[in-house]
Structure formats: C-alpha cells, structure tokens
C-alpha cells in the first residue's frame, strides 16, 4: 500500500490513535490498562501536623472512599489502603493507581517507597512487574497525602496567596493491570509523531517518521497484542538509523529543583524532598544508567534527619555514581542562595557549610557550582567558587531576561578580581525538561555557541515544587540516543559534560563582570523586614565570632561556641534561599524566616555577652572605690572615633565621644571633647542649619536637604533648585510576578511626597549630637517620621527613618540629586565594588534601571563625590545625577500582607573630596552597619587593647573566627577593597607561632607558609583579591 498522500490527515490519524480524549474505546491509549479492581478497604485520619509514620499508623482511621474531599490547606491525611490482588492476574504487571490534587507518599513496610503527584505525572506505584503465585496477594499500604499541590495552593493563580479553605479530592484509588507492551508502543509513536511534526516539511526525515507511524497504525490491531511486535520493529528501524560524527551531543542529567521554601513552608519542603528522591531511587533500581544531579546540602540534611532509611539508599547510589551531589552550597543561594543580596562572608559560609557536609557525608566535595534558579549573579562569585575548589558553573536563569538576550550558552565568566570559571547555560533554557523531541531540537537550534563547542546539557525532571524525572522521560531519551535527524542524547553526568567542554574550550568567549538578570529586580526591596533581619544577623554573627575568638585567645576557661555558631549560621544561610531573602514567598515562610532571625538575635546576643564577660572580666567587675566608666568594643579593623550612647546617672542615656582601637577595646572615663561641637540653628523661614566643623547642612521644613557642604570647601553637593532627601512614591504594578518584578514604566508614575504632617523641629540642640525631626504622609494611609542626625567629627548626615506602611502596589524611594557629573556610579558588592552606567544609551544600560548594592553607592567625578550609605537596604539606582535608594514595596502576591507593618531603617549621605576610596566611604559604611559596643565598666584606669590592625586602608579584615575543627588555630579573611595592587602588613597581638595561606574551605595552600616578622605578616593583594590566612596559636 502506498504512503498516504495527505500529510495533515496522516498526522491527525496518528494523533487520534494516541489520544487520551478521542476514540479511547478503540485506540491504543485506551488499552494501556486492562483489568481494574478497587481496594479491599480504604480508611483515613486527618491531622493539622506533619507527623512521622510511626505516630500516624497508631491513630484511629475512619472509612473513606474515592470522591471524598479533604482539607483545608496544609492539613495532612493518612490513608490505610488494604489491597487484595485477584488470583487471575498471575503473570501480569500490577500497579496501584492513586490520583488526587494533593501530593502523596506511599509507605510500605514502614518505609517511604513512592511519591505520587498528578501534576508531576506520577500516579502509580508498581507492586510487581510480573505477579508470581508465590507472592503475597494481600498487602497493606499507607498513603500520606499533603493538602497542597506541587505549587502550593494559590487562590486563582499559581502565585496568588494560598487559599486557606481549599479542599483536595481523592479521584482514583485502585489496582490495575498495566499493559507494558502498549506503553512501549505509545512511546514509540509519540516520538515518531513529534519528529514528523517538528522536523518540518522541508526535511525528508519528517516524512520518514510520519509514514512509519502511519504504517504502524495499519499493522497494529489494538485488540490483538500479537500484532504489536511488528509495529515496534517498524519504529526500531527508524530509531536505529544513526547520526553522522559531527552531530551535536546532548548530555541528559536527571534533575529536580526543589525550592526550599516558596509557595509552601519549609516543613513541606522536607516532605517534597522525600517524595521526589524516593521516586528517583525507585527509577535507579530499574534503570542503572540513570544519573541525577542534586544540589543543596540543607535538603540532604533534612532527609538524613527525617528519613534515615531513604538517606541510606541515597548514599548507596551516590557511591555508585548515579545520585550526584552538586552545587557545593548549603542552599541554592538567593539568588544563589540569592546570588545578589547575601554578604561576601555569607557566600563563603554557604560554600564552607555545603562542601564540608558533602565531604563528611559522601567523601567528596563538589567540583561544579549548580545554581539553576536564582535572580542574578554577583561579579565576585567566580573568585568565591575558585576559592572553594570549584571551576565549573551551571545556571540558566539569564534566559528569563526581559530586554536583552544573553549572547552565550558556554563561556568563561571572569569576576572582578580576574578569576575565571567555565560556565554553561543549558541551551534549552530550562532546568525541568521532559525528554521530548521538541526540547532536543531547541537545545541545538538555540545554542549561541555553535561551532565553538558541540556538547550541551539537558536537565530533565519536574522541578520547583519537586517531582523529578519519570520513567517515560527516560524511555524517550533512550529511543533518541543516536537517531538520524535528531541530536545525539546520552544519559551523562555534570563531570562528563564539563570535561568535554573543557577540551573544546579553546575558542570560547569570556564575559567579564556581573551576570545581571533583567527581571525580578523588585526582589531587592520586597519584604523589608527579611532584608533587615539578614543584614542584622550577618553583623551579629560577625561580632560573636570576633569577640569569641579574642576571648579564647586571652585565656581563661572560655570555650569557643562552635556548635551554636554553626546552628545559627545554618539558620541564616537557610533564609538566604532564593525565594526567602528576595521576599518572593508566602506569608507562612515570612513568619518562619522572621522567627529564625529572632532566634539568631536572641542566642547571638547571649553569646556576645558571654564573650565580652570573658574577654574583659577584670575591667567589668565592680571594685571598691573604682569610678564608673565605659568599655567601648570595636569589631572592625580600624581605629574609630565616634559618638556613643552610654548609661548616665539614674538610668538616663548620655552621649560620649570615644576613640576605640581596631578590633579591640578601650576603657573610657573622661570622654573626648570635639574640636568643634555640633551647632544647630533654626532660621526665620523655618529651615534648620547644622554644622560640626566637617560638614554644613541646611534643611527646609519638609526635611529636604537644600544644602550640603564640606567645611573649608566651596563645593556645594545639592544642585540649585533641587531637593535632596526627597521621598517619591511610584505606582508598582508589574506584568505578572508581583513580589518579584518592578517594571521600567513605574518610573513614569513618580509622585513627590509633599504632604507635611509635622514640620521640621530641633530635637537635639547640639554639642556631641544635633538632630531635627519631621513627619510626612505617604500615599493615602502611610506615615513617615524621620530624625536627621549630625554627630561631632562625623562627615556623614544620618537619616533615622520610621514608616507605618499601609500601601498597596506602591513603591517608596528616597532621592538625592547631587552636583556631580559622571557616566558611571559605583556600587558595593560582596568583597568589592563595581561600576554601572548612569545613562541609558543602550538596551543593556536601561535594562538596569533598578539595581542592587550592599552598604553604599557613590557618584564621583575627579576630586569630589557624594556617597549614599544604608544599614539594611539593597535596591538602588543612579540615573544622571540622582542617587536613589529603594525603601519599601507593597506587592500582594504571593503574600497579601507583604511589608504592611512598622519599619525602621537608617541611611546616610556623605560628601567627600578626592575619590571615595581615599575619603573613607567604605570604612564609614562599615561603621554605620557595625556600631561600637558600649558596656558599663568599673576600671579606674584608662587603657586600650587591639587584637588586629592592617597597615593599608585599601585592605579590609572582614572575618576573624576559629578554624573549622582546629581549636588551636584562627582564620582571618581579608580583601582588597579599593581596586588596587597593594602590599599590607597584618599586625596582631595574638600569640601566633605559625602563619599560612589557606583556601575558603580552610585547607592550607601548597607552599602557603608566610614568615612572621616584627611588623606582622606581609600580604600581597591585587584588585579585589580575597585572602584567607590560618594563624596557628601558641598554646
């Protein structure tokens, strides 16, 4: 019989033969399942808690039936399912089929054995592949059903706040006979049909696939399985026709991205991991070639704690090389983990905790950094990766760019210090492929580096909410392994992929600097309390480590709180996951995160007090006749002269000007007198001027900064006719991703805040500190109160701000127009800074209308500039001559209550002569974020002690901590902050006997020993270089 003459009818004929909707009474799909029978018994009980199996099976179960609904959202239903397999099914493949709109886990013999999620195409558990008469025909299963879907329980849309009253229906629970030969034939035909449709009419292979599929329909009698082998032989003939040697090779790796918290709480993620990973283990038992890449040490730790039997199976498959730990970090950071917002030290700890966990549990560290889903990539990441033993990086999120298409899929990425890592973006632009023909063709067609490399990755498996690979995905990939007309596809590993890319890398291009995601830039500001908690807790852990290390070294019985610090760090790192710190999570997750920060503050404060008591015990104990004094503690590596608050008579607070040495303390009895006290004067027009001998300030009644000058300079910072400290409110309605995105068009809706509730009044008249305060109405129902503060000797004007925020879809910023002209502004990032344009010449420029920074941003021309500092904000911009700090947003999805609360934050403005480096902007920003500690003391003598100092202002000593697992050693971490090449002396009063360089995992470097000289230890830096130094102490 000749091939069909009409392409469309042939295509549709095959489609209908496979259809789940049409002609299922007589097509192939309708023969997938043969006999069916219901469970012998079905009963359940419901609980609001997520309880372990042992507790669940002891509960009282009540009768249940298919069609029943359960809920509300976040409840758990446990089902007891008693099954009796008919004797007539001997020799047949028997499945237990379960369908509901909740997520299920099958338990058998007290162990989790299979995840069941309709959205993840997993609705059956294979009881036997060929039922033997000797096998038991009666058995009992338990099904743990979570009352939430794969993507939570959004009301009306995926990212809407969860519907608290949603019900989840059990739509199917039955035993079935599964016709494996029908299934195999269906997969054959699906692939041939896709080849026919997608290869196109100009491709002869398309017609070969179509005619073969059509002939298979002719040959196949769905009522007569004996006709199936002949049909399958026709398909095999097509699949066995091989490719030429030049064909592109796709490395397919099983994958299951699980957000540690997002549209569901942390506790549900633990179960998502178990449901997904136990399914992978079942697949590996049947498919020894399957590989599965799994990141996030935190999730391994959860499964280890909650599902030890499953974890032991995972360890076996890790040893076999199938279950592959990747990533090297504790969580996938916001944005790595988040890749933008965590501090440099937090990023180091993500790697340190992650890599140490993988080494302890699996005997190896990760050689690839695996970050499929994050909201941008700091330009400091390449150096951090290299310092943690990682030279390879895989991600794909830049495919989400809204404006510009990133020009590469395989390239070298170079960080701000010059470190390079081989980077690969899977060209299919997804980390959740399904192994379909369309994805294979897209992977090749979309590849931006054709001709440079001939290999690429394809990550297959349901993701974000878990799920992972399915048997059907694997079976598709097997058929396409080397079929003419399609790229080669092989089940592979990350190491195999990167090894071949390294061999092909000679012609690869290099991308220098940050990988900026042109989307989700609202996440720099959303959920301000989480941002503030992150910054505060990073400071607390820094200070606890510094003070605890010094307390240990100064003698006494003090023990370094290593285990408590590890627990607190892991809590902080967990919250840096890329939907928590960015604020793109539901209210339940926000509540969990804020509780974590409360715990870090509580325990951290206690640890800090214990360290100070041990470090300074002699100075704090009351002695007869001793005078009251103040102990000032400085955890930063430079001497500081600042105004502090200390206890005055009768419990009052008094101000004092003190000088405290670098990383040390000083007893202050008689405070310093400033060369010039702060003066505050009210003018006839209601404006207020302040001066402290360093800067002169003029403020109008609205709290606007109308003049800002450095004393002794004629240079005005604020342009004529402009107001700095100008609040502006913007409409903030993105296209879809509410908590995530702020769109460029929001800038067209700017409305200056002009409603004055309380005009500017003097609150402190001067001396050591002058201040004035005012109140504004923001929008329809919010209020802002601000105290503007100038301290003696300080070049910064601070703005202590309190907001009662009650807006919806509004964005609050504060603007500082400055009399500076420069085509670039400078922003602090982790362990350094970078420049971004202040103009919108190109699409790459204007796509960065809203960017991120850490503690400061600066706009400078030669000889003069103005910096904006902050204590807990991340969103910022500099366009033309206007510096803006993003303060608050008000999205309604996925948390309808996001940011609707009281907020307190501080920012500061600092004019300076010369460069921001020479003017000390970096140090002033640290000072704002790491205030001096003032403790009442009783010493009669004035004395000071310093543990560490650094000879060059270009070098910041960021971290002092006890070495991991080495109580006799201290690790100090320093970085070059100016962007210069410099030698610096690290001086210490600690009893050091040996000094050596180490990597970020604290492994000593080869030939890393450094001489200890009279001036200390000499360290050599190139721009933004990060050095870790191991100090072995004399006992």
Query: Which residues are known to be catalytic?
Result: 373
HEC profile of 745-767: HHHHHCEECCEEEEEEEEEEEEE
As a whole number of angstroms, the distance between CA 28 and CA 227 comes to 12
Residue of 332, 959, 687 whose CA lies nearest to 697 = 687
Q: Is 141 helix (H, G, I), strand (E, B) or coil?
A: strand
- The distance in angstroms from the start CA to the end CA of the chain is 92
| Residue found by looking up tokens 């000088």 in the block | 659
Question: H or E stretch including 293?
Answer: strand 292-294
Q: How many CB atoms lie within 10 A of CB 236?
A: 12
Q: How far apart are CA 331 and CA 577, in angstroms?
A: 6
Angle between helices 266-286 and 471-479 (to 10 degrees): 50
Q: Residue 993: how many CB atoms within 10 A of its CB?
A: 11
User: Which tokens go with 143?
Assistant: 């099904």
Closest CA to 985 of 998, 971, 993, 995: 995
The neighbour count for residue 765, using CB atoms within 10 Å, is: 14
**Gap between the Cα atoms of 317 and 311, Å rounded:** 10
Q: How far is CA 991 from CA 134, 143, 436, 466, 947, in A?
A: 74, 61, 64, 51, 10
CA distances in angstroms from 793 to 139, 670, 679, listed in the order given = 80, 17, 12
Name residue 727's beta-bridge partners: 814
* Bridge pairing between strands 93-100 and 76-84: unpaired
Pick from 178, 845, 688, 720: nearest CA to 471: 178
- Residues pairing with 103 in the sheet: 146
Write down the H helix ranges in 163-203: 180-198
Return the structure tokens found at 596: 């974590």
Nearby residues of 6 by Cβ (< 8 Å), 6 or more positions away: none
Give the three-class secondary structure for 247. Answer: coil
What CA–CA distance (Å, rounded) separates 816 from 724?
4
CA 275 centroid distance within chain? 22
Token couple for 831: 């362990």
CA distance 923 to 427: 43
Q: Which residues contact 627 (CB under 8 A, 6 or more apart)?
A: 669, 938, 940
Q: Which residues pair with 82 in a beta bridge?
A: 41, 140
* Beta bridge pairs of residue 105: 115, 144
Contact between 699 and 798 under an 8 Å Cβ cutoff? The reply is no
Phi, psi of 755, deg, nearest 5? -90, 110
423 contacts 1034 by C-beta, under 8 angstroms = no
Query: What are the distances in angstroms from CA 626 to CA 621, 645, 650?
Result: 10, 21, 18
Cα–Cα distance, 492 to 509 (Å, whole number): 25
Of the CA atoms within 13 Å of residue 384, those in its CB half-sphere come to 28
Cα torsion angle, 473, 476, 481, 482, sign: negative
Residue ranges of E strands in 482-587: 488-491, 510-512
Nearest one of 76, 70, 79 to 165, comparing CA atoms: 70
């Amino acid at each position: 019989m000749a091939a069909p003459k009409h392409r469309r009818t042939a295509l549709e004929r095959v489609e209908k033969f496979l259809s789940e909707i049409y002609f299922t009474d007589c097509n192939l799909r309708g023969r997938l399942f043969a006999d069916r029978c219901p469970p012998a018994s079905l009963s359940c009980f419901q609980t609001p808690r997520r309880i372990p199996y042992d507790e669940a099976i002891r509960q009282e179960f009540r009768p249940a039936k298919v069609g029943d609904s359960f809920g509300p959202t976040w409840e758990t239903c446990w089902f007891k399912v008693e099954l009796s397999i008919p004797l007539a099914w001997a020799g047949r493949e028997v499945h237990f089929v379960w369908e509901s709109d909740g997520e299920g886990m099958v338990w058998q013999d007290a162990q989790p054995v299979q995840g069941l999620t309709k959205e993840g195409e997993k609705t059956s558990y294979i009881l036997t592949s060929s039922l033997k008469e000797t096998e038991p025909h009666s058995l009992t299963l338990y099904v743990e059903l979570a009352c939430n879907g794969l993507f939570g329980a959004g009301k009306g849309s995926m990212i809407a706040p969860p519907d608290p009253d949603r019900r989840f229906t059990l739509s199917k629970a039955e035993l079935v006979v599964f016709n494996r030969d029908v299934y195999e034939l269906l997969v054959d035909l699906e692939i041939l049909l896709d080849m026919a449709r997608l290869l196109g009419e100009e491709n002869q292979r398309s017609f070969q696939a179509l005619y073969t599929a059509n002939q298979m329909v002719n040959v196949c009698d769905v009522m007569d399985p004996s006709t199936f082998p002949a049909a399958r032989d026709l398909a095999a003939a097509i699949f066995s026709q091989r490719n030429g040697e030049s064909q592109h090779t796709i490395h397919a790796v099983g994958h299951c991205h699980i957000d540690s918290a997002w549209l569901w709480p942390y506790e549900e993620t633990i179960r998502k991991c178990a449901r997904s990973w136990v399914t992978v283990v079942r697949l590996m038992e049947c498919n020894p070639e399957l590989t599965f890449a799994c990141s996030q040490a935190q999730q391994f730790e959860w499964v280890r704690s909650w599902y030890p039997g499953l974890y032991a199976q995972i360890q076996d498959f890790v040893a076999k090389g199938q279950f592959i730990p990747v990533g090297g970090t504790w969580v996938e950071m916001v944005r790595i983990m988040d890749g933008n917002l965590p501090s440099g030290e937090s990023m180091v700890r993500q790697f340190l905790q992650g890599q140490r966990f993988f080494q302890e549990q699996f005997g190896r560290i990760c050689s690839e950094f695996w970050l499929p889903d994050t909201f941008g990539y700091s330009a400091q990441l390449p150096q951090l990766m290299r310092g943690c033993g990682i030279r390879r990086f895989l991600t794909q999120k830049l495919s989400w760019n809204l404006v510009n298409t990133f020009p590469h899929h395989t390239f070298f990425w170079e960080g701000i210090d010059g470190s390079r890592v081989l980077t690969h973006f899977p060209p299919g632009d997804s980390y959740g492929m399904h192994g379909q023909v369309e994805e294979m063709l897209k992977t090749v067609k979309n590849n931006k580096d054709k001709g440079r490399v001939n290999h690429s990755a394809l990550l297959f498996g349901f993701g974000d909410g878990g799920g992972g690979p399915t048997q059907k995905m694997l079976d598709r990939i097997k058929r396409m392994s080397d079929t003419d007309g399609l790229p080669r596809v092989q089940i592979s590993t990350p190491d195999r992929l990167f090894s071949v890319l390294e061999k092909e890398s000679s012609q690869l291009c290099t991308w220098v600097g940050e990988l900026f995601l042109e989307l989700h830039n609202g996440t720099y500001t959303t959920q301000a309390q989480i941002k503030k908690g992150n910054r505060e807790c990073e400071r607390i852990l820094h200070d606890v480590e510094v003070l605890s290390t010094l307390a240990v070294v100064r003698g006494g019985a003090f023990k370094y709180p290593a285990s408590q610090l590890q627990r607190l760090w892991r809590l902080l790192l967990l919250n840096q996951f890329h939907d928590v710190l960015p604020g793109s999570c539901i209210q339940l997750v926000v509540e969990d995160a804020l509780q974590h920060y409360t715990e870090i503050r509580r325990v951290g404060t206690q640890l800090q007090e214990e360290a100070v008591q041990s470090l300074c015990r002699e100075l704090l104990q009351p002695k007869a006749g001793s005078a009251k004094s103040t102990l000032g503690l400085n955890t930063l590596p430079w001497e500081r002269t600042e105004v502090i608050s200390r206890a005055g008579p009768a419990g009052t607070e008094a101000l004092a000007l003190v000088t405290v040495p670098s990383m040390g303390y000083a007893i202050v009895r008689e405070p310093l007198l400033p060369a010039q006290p702060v003066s505050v004067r009210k003018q006839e027009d209601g404006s207020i001027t302040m001066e402290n001998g360093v800067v002169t300030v003029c403020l109008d009644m609205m709290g606007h900064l109308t003049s800002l000058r450095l004393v002794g300079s004629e240079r005005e910072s604020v342009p004529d006719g402009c107001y700095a400290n100008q609040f502006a409110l913007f409409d903030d309605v993105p296209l879809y991703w509410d908590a995530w995105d702020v769109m460029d068009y929001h800038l067209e809706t700017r409305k200056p805040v002009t409603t004055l509730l309380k005009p500017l009044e003097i609150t402190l008249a001067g001396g050591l500190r002058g201040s004035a305060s005012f109140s504004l109405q923001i929008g329809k129902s919010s209020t802002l109160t601000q105290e503007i503060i100038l301290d003696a000797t300080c070049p910064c004007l601070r703005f202590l701000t309190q907001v009662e925020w009650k807006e919806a879809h509004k964005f609050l910023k504060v603007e500082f127009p400055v009399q500076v002209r420069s085509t670039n502004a400078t922003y602090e990032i982790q362990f350094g800074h970078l420049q971004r344009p202040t103009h919108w010449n190109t699409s790459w420029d204007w796509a960065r209308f809203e960017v991120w920074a850490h503690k400061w941003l600066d706009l400078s021309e030669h000889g003069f500039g103005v910096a904006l500092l902050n204590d807990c904000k991340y969103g910022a911009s500099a366009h033309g001559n206007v510096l803006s700090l993003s303060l608050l947003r008000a999205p309604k999805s996925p948390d309808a209550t996001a940011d609707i609360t009281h907020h307190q934050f501080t920012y500061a403005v600092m004019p300076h002569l010369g460069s921001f480096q020479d003017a000390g902007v970096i140090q002033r920003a640290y000072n704002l974020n790491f205030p001096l500690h003032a403790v009442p003391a009783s010493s009669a003598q004035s004395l000071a002690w310093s543990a560490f100092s650094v000879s060059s202002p270009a070098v910041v000593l960021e971290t002092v901590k006890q070495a991991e697992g080495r109580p006799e050693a201290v690790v100090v971490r320093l970085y070059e902050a100016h962007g210069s090449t410099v030698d610096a002396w690290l001086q210490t009063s600690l009893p050091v006997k040996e000094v050596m360089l180490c990597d970020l995992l604290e492994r000593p470097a080869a030939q890393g020993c450094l001489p200890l000289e009279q001036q200390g230890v000499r360290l050599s830096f190139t721009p933004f270089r990060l050095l870790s130094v191991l100090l072995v102490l004399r006992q």
